[in-house]
Amino acid sequence: MASQSMEVVAKALEQQVLHSARMVEEQLDAELEKLERMDEDELELLKERRLEALKKAQKQKQEWISKGHGEYREIPSERDFFAEVKESKSVVCHFYRDSTFRCKILDKHLAVLAKKHLETKFIKLNVEKAPFLTERLRIKVIPTLALVKDGKTKDYVVGFTDLGNTDEFPTEMLEWRLGCSNIINYSGNLLEPPTIGQKSGSKFTKVEKKTIRGKGFNVQKRNFSMEHNSGEGSVFSADLLSKED
């Protein structure tokens, strides 16, 4: 009985594979037929459009690079923060402290993602040099990533809770989390996080896209109306931040 069931399943899978293969083949044939029907003028127009798209993409790339995209770098002050987020559509800012070990873990992953996602600016700011900004954004836990879109804070990644509650999360996990907030162009599946080997006792907090906060501060108007960050820790003071060491 078991062997018969397996044969039925195998045949069904075979039929699905063959059906998918036929669909792909038909699509390719249709594209080839379409190209064959084109005259020289139409082909030339198609080439021009593709060349124009390549030029536009290259121009956009150079513009991003001129604004500091493509590298993960530190900004010296909170005043620089406002200038950086004004000139770029998408910004990830790591609020860090030298004495917090987990900040160094994030540094490693953010440096990789900065090179991969030119469309987004990746910067870091020492909280001890930004007391006003840290207080206004109500950052309680270090490290915290502020995700800024069009000059407004859209979301936060607080500590490692959304990254599997482990120090050993892969870069792909952080990339997925940023993709959930639409702060980078993510091509993977946003419904499920990348598979990670979790330690015993660790748990993953799934991020529902509908829960992402959208009411942030407007950089140009300096209208700081922020929600409290979630996570354990004490309220910020001049010399105290809770940390996830």
pLDDT in tens, 48-107: 888 888 899 999 999 999 999 999 999 999 999 999 999 999 999 999 999 999 999 999
Sequence-distant (6+) residues with CB within 8 A of 130 are 77, 78, 81, 95
The pLDDT of residue 169: 96
Q: Is the peptide bond before 143 cis (omega within 30 degrees of 0)?
A: yes
231, pLDDT greater than 90: no
What are the structural domains of the chain? 71-243 (3.40.30.10)
* Per-residue pLDDT tens over the stretch 130-161: 999 999 999 999 999 999 999 999 999 999 99
Q: What percent of the chain has pLDDT over 90?
A: 55
